[in-house]
Amino acid sequence: MLSTKPSRAAEKLPGRPPWILVLPALAGLAFLVLPLAGLLIRAPWSTIGTRLAEPQVLEALRLSLVTATLATALCLLLGVPLAWLLARVSFRGARLVRALVTVPLVLPPVVGGVALLLVLGRRGLVGGWLYDTFGISLPFTTAGVVLAETFVAMPFLVISVEGALRAADLRYEEAAATLGATRWTIFRRVTLPLVAPGIAAGAILCWARALGEFGATITFAGNFPGRTQTMPLAVYLALETDPEAAIVLSLVLLVVSVLVLAALRDRWVNTT
Amino acid sequence: MSKRSMSKCSMPMRVAVAAGLSLLAAGCGDTGEASGGKTLTVFAAASLTESFTSLGTTFEASHRGVKVRFNFGGSSGLAQQIGQGAPADVFASASPAPMKQVSDESRVFARNRLVIAVPKDDPGKVTKLADLAGPRLKIVVCAEQVPCGAAATKAFAAAGVRVKPASQEQDVRAVLTKVSLGEADAGLVYRTDAKAAAAKVRGIEFPESAKAINDYPIVALPKAPQSALAKEFVQLVLSAQGQAVLAQAGFEPASPG
């Protein structure tokens, strides 16, 4: 099956890597890693144990993990078909749709949150109907957090999966079609397995983005411990009064996400 | 320990902020800067945006060649920026706690009290603080970590009202957004905020707010690059003219005497 083997490429080409690439690569790495080092240096290591034991921290962490995972599931459910539509079906306005998909990437998340309020809020276009008919109000709920994260994270999944679909060899799907498979069967039995690594990579990006989501969440879902206060929200508020607590919270979020991402990568992306 | 590492950070921070400001200046292309004019940098709480902007114009009019530049934001964030070496001349905070991190020399120049903000049509039929305890109402307040949240907690305690908020927002503006969009039935905001958003929300005064009045301190920072101008700006804010502008925005004068 198609797989990404990062080690193979390095083995193939002989010769020393050119410094003109290596230097900026190292500078780029330093730029990404130094802020993390800053956090580690400033972390109040002596009190870290007692701070972590606070129930609010665990509550926020649990909520973050649960909502980011649910948001990723929702992104998969909606985003994979959307990516497929963009890559495999030619229709009028496909360019426009592709541009629209990336809107949440460009939109400041706080504006995204306001937009969600205007549509899904109690007096919003769709939310008003939900509230009047079923008595459902999404703002200030955990479901609201999941929706806000989904809104912000889905483009990452759609773009990755669409890229994988475009890179995949169409001949497998054509062969299946000549053998009489329906498009649904082809999607399920040929296309999905073919782009599985791309979907996994997209899902991981999506999960990571959802985990760090702040602006749309606090604007749409508000901030209440145990219900809508995810780690990034807890970090932001801790920063108001206790910067050291904010650093501890950020480190917890970083460590947990790095562990999860490393485990998933090994398991899904690099396997043959 | 944190003090030392702070000072370590301060140089690059200062350079970065200075670079940012000069970029701003270049972007605005103002002529005062080019002809050797001075720039007074004022860090002020977000709730002072309207009144201080207007006082800044007054100050520029009476000081030829001087530009007043503002950095409005959450008071504790501003205090942290100043602590990290941001080149500020004047700092005006929305509560005493952030000011304490910066200076002990401050003077209270205004006071702000809480009001209940409700959407124009007031779906929750709120008239007094005790109404906010109603089980069916969606109430938003500021988080306790920010000054308006601490004041809300004090007001509820003074009134003996137990409120279960739907959300503890990060600042007053977020509370206003939720109320003005009708997502919340009521929220506690400062009187000045309710006044500024009068087109979208109605402010209801309540007597218990007297127990949770926020003092706004101001200081000309000791390390101010423009220390003479900084002192003059503080004088303007404390003057009758400055107090009139603040009163118009809904602030109360600092305690008499």
Looking at the fold, whether B156 and B39 belong to one and the same domain comes out as: no
User: What is the number of CB-based contacts under 8 A between chain A and chain B?
Assistant: 70
Beta-ladder partners of B4 = none
State percent of chain B over pLDDT 70: 85
Enclosing domain of residue B14:
2-111+216-249
Of B2, B138, B170, Cβ closest to residue A237: B170
Mean pLDDT, residues B140-146 taken together: 91
The pLDDT score that the predictor gives to residue B180 is: 93
Looking at the fold, whether B190 and B171 belong to one and the same domain comes out as: yes
The pLDDT score that the predictor gives to residue B257 is: 43
CB-CB neighbors (< 8 A) of B183 in chain A: 117, 121-123, 139-140
Find, in chain A, the residue whose alpha carbon is nearest to that of B139: A140
Q: What CA–CA distance (Å, rounded) separates B94 from B30? A: 30
Residue identified by tokens 């508020």 is A237
Q: Please count the structural domains in chain B.
A: 2
Longest dimension (CA), chain B: 63
The pLDDT score that the predictor gives to residue A252 is: 87
- In DSSP notation, B205-254 reads --GGGGGGPEEEEEEE-TT-TTHHHHHHHHHHHHSHHHHHHHHHHTPBPS
Of A121, A224, A238, Cβ closest to residue B168: A224
Is A222 within 8 Å of B168 when comparing Cβ atoms? Answer: yes
Q: What CA–CA distance (Å, rounded) separates A79 from A151? A: 11
- In DSSP notation, A69-111 reads HHHHHHHHHHHHHHHHHHHH---TTHHHHHHHHTHHHHS-HHH
CB-CB neighbors (< 8 A) of B78 in chain A: none
- Note which residues in 68-127 of chain B have CB less than 8 A from chain A: 74, 76-77, 80
Looking at the fold, whether B71 and B167 belong to one and the same domain comes out as: no
Closest approach of A146 to chain B, Cα-based (Å):
16
Question: How far is the CA of B68 from the CAs of B43, B55, B230, in angstroms?
Answer: 11, 10, 10
Find, in chain B, the residue whose alpha carbon is nearest to that of A121: B183
Domain membership of residue B256 (yes or no) is no
Q: Quote the mean pLDDT of chain B.
A: 85
DSSP label of B256:
P
What pLDDT, in 10s, does the model give residues B173-183?
899 999 999 99
Looking at the fold, whether B174 and B99 belong to one and the same domain comes out as: no
CB count in 10 Å sphere of residue A200: 20
Is A240 within 8 Å of B169 when comparing Cβ atoms? Answer: no
Looking at the fold, whether B49 and B128 belong to one and the same domain comes out as: no
Q: What CA–CA distance (Å, rounded) separates B214 from B56? A: 23
**Contact (Cβ atoms closer than 8 angstroms) between residue B32 and residue B65:** yes
Q: What CA–CA distance (Å, rounded) separates B247 from B136? A: 36
The pLDDT score that the predictor gives to residue B173 is: 87
Contacts of A230 (CB under 8 A, 6+ apart): A60, A63, A64, A67, A145, A213, A217
Q: Is the minimum CB–CB distance between B165 and chain A shorter than 8 Å? A: yes
The pLDDT score that the predictor gives to residue A267 is: 67
Looking at the fold, whether B102 and B196 belong to one and the same domain comes out as: no
Looking at the fold, whether B140 and B103 belong to one and the same domain comes out as: no
Is A240 within 8 Å of B166 when comparing Cβ atoms? Answer: no
Q: Is the minimum CB–CB distance between B153 and chain A shorter than 8 Å? A: no
Alpha helices in chain B (DSSP H): 2-28, 31-34, 49-62, 75-83, 96-102, 147-159, 172-180, 191-196, 227-238, 240-249
Domain membership of residue B257 (yes or no) is no
The pLDDT score that the predictor gives to residue B176 is: 93
The pLDDT score that the predictor gives to residue B41 is: 95
Q: What is the CATH number of the domain that holds B234?
A: 3.40.190.10
Closest approach of B9 to chain A, Cα-based (Å):
10
Q: What CA–CA distance (Å, rounded) separates B177 from A114? A: 9
Q: What CA–CA distance (Å, rounded) separates A181 from A183? A: 7
CB-CB neighbors (< 8 A) of B80 in chain A: 239, 243
The pLDDT score that the predictor gives to residue B112 is: 93
Mean pLDDT, residues B40-51 taken together: 92
The pLDDT score that the predictor gives to residue B211 is: 87
| Neighbour-count burial of A267, counting CB atoms closer than 10 A to its CB (0-12 exposed, 13-18 middle, 19+ buried) | exposed
Domain membership of residue B49 (yes or no) is yes
SS3 B204: strand
Of B166, B170, B177, Cβ closest to residue A140: B166
The pLDDT score that the predictor gives to residue B14 is: 47
Q: What is the pLDDT along chain A (272 residues), one digit of tens a residue?
A: 444 445 555 556 778 889 999 999 999 999 999 988 888 888 888 888 888 888 888 899 999 999 999 999 999 999 999 999 999 999 999 999 999 999 999 999 999 999 999 999 999 999 999 999 999 999 999 999 999 999 999 999 999 999 999 999 999 999 999 999 999 999 999 999 999 999 999 999 999 999 999 999 999 999 999 999 999 999 998 888 788 888 988 998 888 888 888 887 776 655 44
Domain membership of residue B193 (yes or no) is yes
Looking at the fold, whether B6 and B88 belong to one and the same domain comes out as: yes
User: Domain A60-269 sits in which CATH superfamily?
Assistant: MetI-like (1.10.3720.10)
Q: Higher-confidence residue: B256 or B24?
A: B256
Looking at the fold, whether B71 and B12 belong to one and the same domain comes out as: yes
- Letter string b/e over residues A178-192, b meaning 16 or more CB atoms within 10 A of that residue's CB: eeebeeeebbeebbe
Is B19's pLDDT higher than 60? no
**Contact (Cβ atoms closer than 8 angstroms) between residue B186 and residue B179:** yes
Domain membership of residue B255 (yes or no) is no
